[in-house]
Amino acid sequence: MRRTALFATALFALNAAGCQTVNPSALASLGRTDSQTAGTAYTYYGGRAVQTLALPPATVQPAVVAALDDLRVQGVHQTRDGGSIVFEGTTADNRKASVTLRPHPAGTRLSARFGLFGDEPLTRALMDRVGVRLGTLPPAAVPIDPPSEPAGNPYFSKSAVPDSVMLKDQADAPYRGSGVP
């Protein structure tokens, strides 16, 4: 019994020490920030940009509407989802745009996604335009053509091996009883 208790204690101590090895900076790479970086934190992960602003949502809301108009997002409609404000519209090249304002202990958390797989230059331009509209960034001219680089489909690559090469042996052989060589 004593040996089992000693083994269990040692195993528990190893597990507890393992949990403490996660560095807080690892959370930033996942799009999460701590309260120390909440004023200017901007992250882009998985096609979505997130930025925390030190202003209440009621102040940020008109700036977001104006920034979407600056970037030629059309048909913008606003809905409320609990405490969040969601803006949905269509970009100039007919992709879906979704911007969400959420209350946050530090102020407001602004998140944006353009298209199905994201568009980093366009989301960065939106965050910059919101900053200009709020006065936290210096004035800048509205871009004539909004910067856009739609992210490609991460599931199907156009640079993959073509079917003519991949299936060459199967197409050349008259008949095989099985698809596995």
Here the contacts of 7-16 (C-beta below 8 Å, separation 24 or greater) are none
| pLDDT recorded at residue 163 | 73
Domain ranges of the chain: 38-137
- The angle at the Cα of 37, spanning 134 to 102, to the nearest 5 degrees, equals 55
User: If you write DSSP's letter for every residue of the chain in order, what string do you get?
Assistant: -HHHHHHHHHHHHHHHHHHTT--HHHHHHTT---GGGTTT-EEEETTEEEEEESS-HHHHHHHHHHHHHHTT-EEEEEEEETTEEEEEEE-TTS-EEEEEEEEETTEEEEEEEESSS--HHHHHHHHHHHHHHHTSS---PPPSS----PPPPSSS-TTSPPHHHHTHHHHHSS--S-S--
Q: Is the per-residue pLDDT at 177 higher than 70? A: no
CA 111 to chain centre: 8
Superfamily of domain 38-137: Bacterial toxin RNase RnlA/LsoA, N repeated domain (3.30.160.690)
Q: Is the per-residue pLDDT at 30 higher than 50? A: no
The pLDDT tens digits of the residues spanning 129-163 come to 999 999 999 999 888 888 888 887 777 777 777 77
- Which of 153 and 103 is assigned the larger pLDDT? 103
What is the overall mean pLDDT for the chain?
A: 79
Residue 73 confidence class, pLDDT cut points 50, 70, 90: very high
pTM: 0.67
